[in-house]
Structure 1
Amino acid sequence: MALRLVSSGDGPALAIRDHLIPLVRERGTLEVQRDSVRRIALRADAWVIEHWTPFNDLLPGEASSPGYRHALERQHTMSHLPYGLDVWHADVKVLSLLWADGGAFEVIGFVRGGWEAEALAL
């Protein structure tokens, strides 16, 4: 059984992510869609929230089914965290995290502060 150390900031960081992702998807603007990345950003007042997902243009003759794509993802031997979220408040990066469909995640950076309640109120 593998042991995973959990930071005390993981829960609040994930709660903020889960609150902000639908807002970015609904109100954000597509900024990049090329190579392996699709990035949507929401810029409002003191906030910059960027969310990226994997994106690959299909090659001619390549299957487009989700099952095929998931089969390719399972071939990777290393942990792959294709989704990300970066949050800036008043020009300071306050949250950065990566995650995968299966629930694996990594909190890259998390600055605790009053901005957390403001983010959850958006």
Structure 2
Amino acid sequence: MTLTLVSSGDDQALAIRDHLLPLVREGGTLELQRDAIRLLALRTGAWTVEHWTPFNDLSPEEASSPGYRHAIERQHTRPGLPYGLEVWRAGTKLLSILWADGGEFEVLDFARGSWEAEALAL
């Protein structure tokens, strides 16, 4: 019996993210900037690509000191993945991925299919 190693698809998910990220950053519209999230969305035909980042202005009740921010970060049991990208086509979520500056990432949803080549052609 021969065993075949099946790829997890993470490389393809990252390739799609890396292709779509500049498109949504350049052509997307700001849909939300509140609390800890800034959301950009690119809508083209049946496609919706949403990208969020943790960057925004602090509200008056939030402390702005770096010491406070580091204390909050230390309360988390695992490193935060502050960036996100979701890809939707005709109302169906096809990809959801989170990542951090250090290269850590997590693929939450990835529905393999012919849409992958279409997304890379956008």
TM range (shorter): 0.7 to 0.9
| 1:80 Cα deviation from its structure 2 partner | 0.5
User: What is the CA–CA distance in structure 2 between the aligned matches of 1:59 and 1:114, rounded to whole Å?
Assistant: 43
Structure 2 CA distance for aligned equivalents of residues 45 and 20 of structure 1: 15
Q: 1:77: Cα distance to partner?
A: 4.3
Change (3 A) 1:89 1:59: closer
2:38 paired residue number: 38
Question: Matched residues, percent identical?
Answer: 66
Q: Report how far residue 56 of structure 1 moved.
A: 3.9
The equivalent residue for 2:64 is 62
TM-score (norm 2): 0.81
* Structure 2 gap ranges (5+): 1-6
Give the Cα–Cα distance (whole angstroms) in 1 for the partners of residues 17 and 57 of structure 2.
27
Q: Which runs of 5+ in 1 are unaligned?
A: 1-6
1:1-122 matches, within 5 Å, as 8-58=8-58, 62=64, 68=66, 72=70, 75=74, 76-122=76-122
Count of residue pairs the alignment pairs up:
112
Q: Based on CA coordinates, which of the two structures has the bigger radius of gyration?
A: 2
Check whether the contact 1:34–1:55 (CA below 8 A) recurs between aligned residues.
Answer: no
Moved beyond 6 Å, runs of 4+: none
Q: Secondary structure at the match of 1:15?
A: helix
